[in-house]
């Protein structure tokens, strides 16, 4: 008797034991079984069939056809026997069915072994790697080929057999399990192959067979065990299992597999390396296909959130989000809407909780999922407040990836906000104003309506009392007992009337109005709260403009753009500050991306007019935006805008019609053109003329008439910007040629107009900026600038004699000494330019002569003569600068220089008026910049004035002067760097800011050496003044880009901080942590660790020891055991410490660059003021 279970076990143990050498041809067996399929029951025939199956060389397709035919015949005969209720016949046919099924199993096993494995992808990277990858993917088989076809046929036959119902043939569970294993195990084995993920037909047949086995033959435990094991080892299997579960649910109404899988997946095996990752992929794919199944098993899914696996926690967040979106998409009017909202709230709380996960990948995924919910276009108004609050927090996350996604979330919230009043603009001031009006309106309405209802109620009560009195009068003649009864009835009637609402319609209307107002108030409060969250994010984005991460800069600008488009006025601050990023040097793709993003930001917001505008209106739109930008910017902002506008003009964003319109605004005499707008147009024209002088030349006739005419006398700022435009009639490139550019005669109208404006007494402090620009213009444009300068000084001298007004005399004197200093500086600049032009011209002439002759000896002689001539000319120029300009008896500037020195000497002991003192502090350094001899002689005086003056403006101006001297006469100032560093501790914040800016420029340009005083720069990181702290962050961000700069200065900074008694330990530790973040090279970290370990033994105080330990903990990289042991040993010279500072023995995660606004351009500090 054939026993299927025993035969199967023997086959699994050793299939060869079942077969021998085939003695019968396949064709004969096929012929026999085709005539009578029941012949397979015969032992000899059965053995012959087994022998054929054991021979792998036999035609497998023919065997498959034979077996399928046998299975179909068995199924047909079984149905006939069951219909006839022939029990004996069923027993015979059962053996027939099992033998054919066993053959089918054997064929499936062989076919499964022949499915081609997928070759592993090469690990090549780069461009060649991508080509290899593409070629490898193209070679991958898309189906199992002929083997897959055979599998499909056999699985389809098994499906037909099992679907017909075998309970009558296989009555016991054991028998059914033995039969089911014949097709279930091969089906599961087939799914292991990655090729099945691409062969949809084979996958469909295998899944169908498995589903039939679960549904008809109760094979759920087997399948559950198999899929869990497969999921543990194969990455591709997740998608296949998802399809299996979905087919089971949709076509067979079976949901138990997923439930049983989850129970197994919560066991310890999920802590393996591949298991959690595959489970994460599985539940994520299933949530996208069947979120209702996830919802049913949410408790088990949520339990995965406590896993140690980061991918699994991320998947849980994604799954919960998918379920939330699924619930939100359901019909809101359904009966279970309220419970569904509670479920949504519960799941969203879980998602938002994961925004605080320890892994930044999980935090980032949670924020991404919140963005999906916001972008789902579904009603989430009840969730927006919580989501926006989490977005605000995550914008400040230490991980750049989380911050980026948080800003994208906030962007989505802004773009989908429901507050559409006022065209959807999110102006905080406007919404707050409307809210206040509504609250006042509600309060007033309640007071008015309450008083009205009270009055009406009192009138109604009076009417009721009158009715009661009439009834009493009509019964006055009745007996006393009857009167008592009537009084009782009347009182009852009054009470009844009073209990009723005397004005039901009015009260109802009042209630409706109150409800409507309360609803509007709630709406406005929600809007205000949301806009406040947006503003918080803008503040964070503003701080991120100082981040070292280029991605942070791009994200911040993207967020500013969206906020600006939706009317958030607070975004203007960030947009204006981001203009300083124009100074980012595009050394790599990241830097170039920042610069491109900045140009895009301003182009979209300011340089791109609406498409509906005509050409003139479009030019007017752009010109108006340019003027607004110029008007609202400070000195540093204007410098950055100048470079940005140059880039914009190169890209075509600022067109010629815009420039022409700016000229029209500048030259217009219409009352609608305010002085402020005219000045703005002048500023922009000056910027655009820097690289393209033709932009200035096209309106040169207007400059003299408007900018230097009557308007200039009442608007000195307009005169200043006009002078700047005039100075740019010639470019810097023209001055770098061998011959000077064409210049104007000294009698030209331009110089006469400028001279008249310079000689006018003007108490406005802005006159000094005009004078500086005017004198520079004269020096650049005038052929004989010395003649004009001489005339000016003599005119000033005469003007001072002619006035008797002390105030006017002082004003003219201040202007005179300021002009004298500027003239001296301009003459020195002109001498330097003359020297450079002479050298260029001489070398060009020498090169031309060398080209004409090939005589080497003559060439050498020429070089010698040329070198001698150049040296002679340079020596003559140096002699003029050093001695003649200031020391010659005939030099007028020498008289002014000596006068300024004498006045400065008296300023130290007996200060002059503030205006005179400031002018002296501006003029003396300019004379010193002319001659190193004069500078060396007067340097002690200048330092004495800077240290002894009680006026912060004077001290700040002289700090800038020291920086200028360091650029010109570096050896002279190198001995006095202590003076510059000392200004960092000046009692006035403005002087500190100026010193910080000056030192930053000098150090970054390599003009002064960085010594131990750099600890003062580090201490400024914790300054209470935001601007000083920002400048310090900018300095170290730039300083870190120099080779080994932070590494070389690290120990000096640490030493200085550890002995600073004015600095708190917490502030010092923050500084150490910030500086340590810049030491990233492994070799440098190791060397610092060694040197810090040596310092631990030499620490004289516990504070020094604590700082050293904190520095060790703050360094990145793996720490040696010796470091931990040394720290654990503690401070040796302290016997007992009551409250020892907490030193974290585990190296903390070093945060990314602390937030600081973007760097300003290297110009004069804002602290430099002029009288």
Q: What is the pLDDT of residues 141-156, one digit of tens each?
A: 445 678 888 889 999 9
Check pLDDT > 50 for residue 1150. no
Give residue 404's pLDDT.
95
Q: What is the pLDDT of residues 326-373, one digit of tens each?
A: 998 887 666 677 888 889 999 999 999 999 999 999 999 999 999 999
Instruction: Over range 502-521, report the average pLDDT.
Output: 75
Confidence of residue 629 (pLDDT cuts 50, 70, 90): very high
Check pLDDT > 80 for residue 509. no
What's the pTM value of the predicted model, to 2 decimals?
Answer: 0.79
Give residue 490's pLDDT.
34
CA distance 969 to 50: 104
Q: Cβ neighbours of residue 903 under 8 Å, at least 6 residues apart?
A: 912, 916, 920
DSSP secondary structure letter of residue 611? T
Q: What is the pLDDT of residues 53-79, one digit of tens each?
A: 877 777 888 888 888 998 999 889 988
Q: What is the pLDDT of residues 796-854, one digit of tens each?
A: 988 877 777 888 889 999 999 999 999 999 999 988 888 888 887 777 777 777 666 55
Instruction: Over range 682-692, report the average pLDDT.
Output: 92
Q: By the 8 A CB rule, do 1034 and 993 touch?
A: no
Q: Cβ neighbours of residue 21 under 8 Å, at least 6 residues apart?
A: 51
DSSP secondary structure letter of residue 16? G
Check pLDDT > 50 for residue 482. no
Write phi, then psi, for 779 (nearest 5 degrees): -65, -35
Q: By the 8 A CB rule, do 1115 and 1088 touch?
A: yes
**Least confident span in 196-205, 367-376, 635-644:** 196-205
Give residue 126's pLDDT.
40
**Which position has the higher pLDDT, 801 or 190?**
190
Q: How far is CA 1137 from CA 520, 538, 1099, 1104, 1142, in A?
A: 62, 46, 16, 15, 12
Check pLDDT > 70 for residue 578. yes
Question: To the nearest 10°, the Cα dihedral for 677, 679, 684, 690?
Answer: 170
**Least confident span in 23-37, 594-608, 840-854, 1092-1106:** 840-854
Confidence of residue 25 (pLDDT cuts 50, 70, 90): confident
For residue 79, give both structure tokens: 């149905």
Average confidence score pLDDT of the chain: 82
Give residue 1034's pLDDT.
85
Give residue 217's pLDDT.
87
CA distance 113 to 491: 103
Q: What is the pLDDT of residues 222-249, one digit of tens each?
A: 999 998 888 888 888 889 999 999 999 9
Q: What is the pLDDT of residues 953-993, one digit of tens each?
A: 999 999 999 999 999 998 888 888 888 888 998 899 999 99
User: What is the C-alpha end-to-end distance of the chain, expressed in Å?
Assistant: 119
**Least confident span in 116-125, 219-228, 643-652:** 116-125
Give residue 19's pLDDT.
78
Give residue 406's pLDDT.
96
CA distance 308 to 318: 17
Check pLDDT > 90 for residue 940. yes
Give residue 356's pLDDT.
93
Instruction: Over range 558-587, report the average pLDDT.
Output: 91
Which among 447-461, 492-506, 1085-1099 has the top mean pLDDT?
Answer: 1085-1099
Give residue 1131's pLDDT.
56
Just give the CATH number of 254-373. 1.25.10.10
**How many percent of the chain have pLDDT more than 90?**
35
Instruction: Over range 440-467, report the average pLDDT.
Output: 65
Give residue 484's pLDDT.
38
């Amino acid at each position: 008797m054939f026993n299927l279970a025993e035969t199967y076990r023997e086959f699994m143990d050793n299939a060869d034991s079942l077969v021998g050498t085939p003695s019968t041809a396949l064709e004969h067996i096929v012929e026999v079984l085709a005539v009578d399929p029941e012949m397979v029951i015969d032992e000899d025939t059965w053995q012959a069939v087994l022998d054929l199956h054991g021979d792998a060389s036999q035609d497998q397709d023919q065997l498959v056809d034979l077996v399928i035919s046998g299975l179909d015949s068995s199924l047909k005969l079984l149905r006939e026997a069951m219909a006839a209720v022939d029990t004996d016949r069923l027993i015979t046919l059962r053996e027939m069915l099992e033998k054919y099924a066993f053959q089918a199993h054997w064929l499936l096993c062989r076919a499964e072994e022949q499915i081609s494995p997928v070759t592993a992808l090469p690990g090549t990277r780069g461009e060649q790697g991508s080509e290899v990858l593409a070629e490898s993917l193209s070679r991958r088989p898309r189906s199992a080929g002929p083997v897959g076809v055979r599998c499909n046929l056999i699985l389809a036959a098994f499906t037909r057999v099992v679907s017909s119902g075998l309970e009558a043939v296989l009555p016991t569970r054991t028998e059914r399990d033995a039969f089911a294993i014949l097709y279930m195990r091969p089906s599961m084995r087939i799914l292991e192959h990655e090729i099945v993920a691409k062969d949809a037909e084979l996958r469909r047949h295998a899944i169908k067979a498995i589903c039939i086995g679960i549904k008809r033959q109760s094979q759920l435990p087997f399948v559950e065990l198999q899929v869990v094991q497969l999921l543990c080892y194969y990455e591709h299997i997740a998608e296949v299992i998802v399809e299996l579960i979905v087919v089971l649910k949709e076509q067979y109404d079976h949901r138990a597999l997923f439930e049983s899988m989850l129970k197994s997946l919560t066991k310890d095996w999920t802590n393996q390396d591949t298991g959690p990752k595959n489970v994460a992929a599985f539940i994520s794919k299933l949530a996208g296909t069947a979120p209702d199944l996830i919802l049913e098993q949410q408790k088990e899914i949520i339990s995965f959130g406590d896993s140690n696996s980061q991918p699994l926690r991320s998947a849980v967040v994604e799954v919960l989000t998918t379920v939330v979106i699924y619930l939100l998409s359901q019909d809101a009017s359904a009966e279970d809407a309220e419970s569904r909202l509670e479920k949504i709230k519960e799941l969203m709380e879980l998602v938002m909780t994961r925004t605080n996960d320890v892994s930044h990948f999980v935090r980032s995924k949670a924020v991404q999922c919140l963005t999906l919910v916001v972008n789902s276009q579904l009603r989430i108004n009840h969730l927006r407040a919580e989501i926006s609050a989490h977005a605000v927090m995550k914008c400040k996350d230490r991980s750049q990836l989380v911050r980026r996604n948080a800003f994208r979330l906030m962007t989505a919230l802004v773009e989908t906000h429901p507050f559409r009043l006022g065209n959807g603009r999110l102006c905080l001031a406007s919404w707050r104003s409307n809210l206040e009006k509504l609250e006042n309106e509600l309060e007033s309405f309640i007071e008015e309506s309450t008083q009205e209802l009270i009055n009406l109620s009192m009138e109604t009560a009076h009417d009721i009392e009158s009715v009661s009195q009439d009834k009493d009068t009509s019964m006055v003649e009745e007996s006393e007992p009857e009167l008592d009864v009537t009084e009782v009835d009347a009182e009852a009637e009054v009470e009844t009337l009073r209990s009723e609402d005397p004005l039901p319609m009015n009260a109802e209307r009042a209630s409706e109005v109150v409800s409507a107002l309360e609803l509007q108030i709630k709406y406005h409060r929600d809007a205000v709260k949301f806009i406040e969250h947006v503003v918080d994010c803008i503040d964070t984005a503003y701080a991120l403009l100082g981040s070292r991460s280029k991605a942070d800069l791009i994200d911040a600008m993207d967020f500013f753009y969206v906020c600006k488009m939706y009317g958030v006025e607070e975004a203007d601050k960030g947009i204006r500050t981001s203009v300083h990023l124009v100074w980012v040097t595009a050394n790599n793709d990241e830097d170039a991306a920042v610069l491109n993003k900045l140009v895009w930001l301003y182009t979209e917001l300011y340089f791109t007019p609406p498409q509906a505008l005509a050409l003139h209106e479009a030019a007017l739109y752009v010109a108006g935006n340019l003027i607004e930008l110029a008007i609202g910017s400070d000195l540093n902002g204007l410098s950055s805008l100048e470079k940005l506008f140059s880039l914009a003009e190169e890209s075509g964003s600022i067109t010629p019609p815009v420039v022409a319109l700016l000229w029209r605004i500048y030259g217009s005499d219409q009352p609608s053109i305010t002085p402020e707008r005219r000045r703005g147009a002048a500023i922009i024209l000056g910027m655009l003329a820097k690289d393209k002088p033709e932009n200035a030349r096209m309106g040169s006739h207007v400059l003299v008439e408007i900018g230097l005419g009557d308007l200039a006398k009442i608007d000195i700022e307009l005169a200043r910007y006009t002078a700047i435009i005039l100075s740019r009639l010639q470019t810097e490139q023209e001055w770098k040629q061998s011959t000077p550019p064409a210049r104007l005669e000294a009698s030209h109208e331009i110089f006469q107009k400028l001279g008249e404006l310079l000689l006018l007494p003007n108490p406005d402090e802005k006159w000094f900026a005009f004078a500086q620009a005017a004198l520079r213009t004269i020096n650049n444009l005038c052929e004989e600038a010395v003649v004009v300068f001489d005339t000016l000084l003599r005119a000033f001298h005469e003007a001072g004699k002619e006035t008797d007004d002390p105030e006017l005399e002082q004003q003219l004197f201040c202007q005179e000494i300021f002009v004298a200093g500027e003239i001296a500086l301009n003459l020195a600049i002109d001498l330097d330019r003359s020297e450079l032009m002479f050298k260029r011209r001489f070398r060009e002439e020498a090169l031309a002569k060398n080209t004409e002759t090939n005589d080497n000896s003559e060439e050498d002689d020429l070089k010698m003569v040329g070198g001698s001539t150049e040296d002679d000319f340079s020596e003559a120029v140096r002699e003029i600068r050093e001695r003649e300009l200031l020391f010659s008896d005939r030099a007028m500037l020498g008289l002014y220089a000596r006068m300024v020195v004498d006045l400065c000497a008296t300023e130290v002991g007996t200060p002059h008026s503030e205006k005179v003192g400031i002018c002296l502090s501006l003029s003396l350094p300019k004379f010193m910049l002319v001659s190193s001899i004069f500078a060396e002689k007067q340097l002690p005086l200048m330092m004495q004035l800077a240290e002894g003056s009680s006026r912060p403006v004077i001290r700040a101006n002289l700090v800038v002067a020291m920086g200028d001297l360091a650029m010109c006469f570096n050896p002279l100032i190198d001995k006095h760097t202590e003076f510059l560093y000392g200004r960092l501790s000046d009692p006035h914040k403005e002087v500190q800011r100026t010193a910080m800016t000056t030192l930053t420029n000098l150090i970054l340009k390599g003009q002064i050496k960085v010594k131990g005083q750099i600890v003062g720069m580090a201490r400024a990181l914790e300054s209470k003044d935001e601007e000083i702290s920002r400048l310090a962050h900018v300095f170290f961000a730039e300083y870190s880009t120099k080779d080994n700069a932070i590494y070389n200065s690290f120990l000096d900074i640490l030493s200085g901080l550890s002995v600073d008694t004015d600095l708190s330990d917490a502030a010092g530790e923050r500084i150490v942590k910030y500086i340590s973040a810049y030491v990233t090279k492994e070799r440098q970290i190791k060397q610092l660790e060694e040197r810090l370990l040596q310092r631990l033994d030499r620490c004289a105080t516990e504070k020094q020891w604590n700082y050293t330990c904190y520095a060790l903990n703050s360094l990145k990289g793996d720490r040696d055991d010796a470091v931990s042991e040394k720290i654990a040993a503690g401070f040796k010279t302290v016997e007992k410490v009551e409250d020892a500072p907490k030193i974290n023995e585990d190296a903390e995660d070093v945060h990314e660059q602390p937030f600081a606004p973007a760097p300003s351009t290297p110009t004069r500090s804002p602290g430099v003021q002029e009288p």
